[in-house]
Copies of this chain bind each other. A is one copy, B any other.
Amino acid sequence: MVDIATRVWNHKWKIDPIVRSLIDTDFYKLLMCQSVFRNRPDTQVTFSLINRTKSVPLAKLIDEGELREQLDHVRSLSLTRGESTWLRGNTFYGKRQMFRPDFMEWFENLRLPDYHLERVGDQYQLTFEGSWPEVMLWEIPALSVLMELRSRAVLDQMKKFELQVLYARAMTKLWEKIENLRDIDNLRIADFGTRRRHSYLWQDWAVQAMGEGLGEKFVGTSNCLIAKNRDLEAIGTNAHELPMVYAALAESDEELAQAPYQVLADWHEEHDGNLRIILPDTYGTNGFLDRAPKWLESWTGIRIDSGDPAAGAETAIDWWTSRGEDPTKKLVIFSDGLDVDKIRQLQQQFEGRVLTSFGWGTLLTNDFRGLVPGDTLAPFSLVCKAVSANGQSTVKLSDNPNKAMGPADQIDRYKRVFDVGAQTKQDVVV
């Protein structure tokens, strides 16, 4: 039986919306948003979309009108009652609420601010300007929309059984990865793939497959909507955005040098346990740890998001040891460019020496490499970053010069202030 009502309902939509909920976003965006809302609510910030993979001509693939319709749809969204209830129910180890009533009230009344879209050559210039807590929530939906519209542009050319076989192949590929991961003892892995997913439905499938295939080794997803719908734990802490904006707001080199610690001091006050994770690489991991204040030693763990991950974990272990902490009680979260072999290798290298956890991103939710002729569905490196704060350009160095961002003179200044020495270049796959 065809369900006539379903079919008619589907055809009533003028578009097939990609982002259908304000919580179809990463959990850490909301945690950071609350921190920003409390500590720096009036900062004026510009976020900008940057396609690092110039060979993917987004403006040729994606119709501007369709892109505007999708972005306009995101602006029409507001928090639903059930979403609000779910957010309010999130607690720290069952004790107090993660999201405070003043933040929730503000969020319940939020609509995302306007965007600025312009075609420049074969790429789109897409920017968001406004108060930091509002504008920052554009990052994930903007990425999801662009990623999925690019997928649709390719899928539009395919016939019915070709499509079915495409997804059959993608499922087979992902399931083989999951079967492979199943053998790794003491694995703890989460989905971190919202921002560069092939599509929402595919991420939702991938998360469910991880759940069935890995059992307790699969610890949750960074995507709040999927966590809510699939009864999973939402995972995440904080990101480069915080130190980047705090740093841009610094009024002297001394303030700049302190900015990354100020971020974590604000965080320390508000959060506990698994949310106390250091992301040390924004301006070079080594210098950050060398100069770290004593109170950071007691934090739960470190997330390694650039550079050679094994080297980063060794650095973290050495740092804890040098500060008299027991590394076997500490957590290292790997979240950069992961796939099965690297996960297995890192787990083998660090098992027993430190607690490990993996945030698996693009190659979980968008590994369509090799599935269509010309590889036109392969993931690509799209980011949406805070590029300025109160008129000052932001800078990111990271532990990989290929991931550095910002004006050249500011990069030089930051390297000097943060005493960043020689760095090894690493290819950015996705």
Contact = CB atoms under 8 A, between A and B. Distances in A.
A2 to B, nearest CB: 8
A53 interface: no
A328 to B, nearest CB: 34
B3 A162 contact: no
A212 B164 CA distance: 12
A294 interface: no
A168 to B, nearest CB: 4
Contacts of A1: 3, 5-6, 9
A168 B209 CA distance: 13
Interface string A153-196: 00000011110110111011001000000000000000000000
A83 to B, nearest CB: 20
B160 A212 contact: yes
Contacts of A167: 168
B171 A213 contact: no
A169 B168 CA distance: 6
A208 interface: yes
A237 to B, nearest CB: 29
A5 B159 CA distance: 31
A171 B162 CA distance: 10
7 contacts: A1-B6, A161-B175, A161-B208, A161-B209, A161-B213, A165-B172, A168-B168
Nearest to A161: B212
Contacts of A172: 165, 168-169, 172
Contacts of A168: 167-169, 171-172, 175
Nearest to A171: B168
B175 A212 contact: no
Q: Give the 8 A-B residue pairs with the shortest CB-CB distance, closest first.
A: A3-B3, A168-B168, A168-B171, A165-B175, A161-B212, A1-B6, A168-B172, A161-B209
A172 B165 CA distance: 6
Contacts of A160: 212
A209 B159 CA distance: 11
B165 A171 contact: yes
Interface string A198-211: 00000000001100
A226 to B, nearest CB: 15
A370 B6 CA distance: 38
A236 to B, nearest CB: 25
Given A1-B9, A165-B209, 9 more contacts: A3-B3, A3-B6, A162-B212, A164-B171, A165-B175, A167-B168, A168-B171, A168-B172, A172-B172
A172 to B, nearest CB: 5
Nearest to A175: B165
- Max chain B CB contacts within 10 Å: which of A1, A161, A213? A161
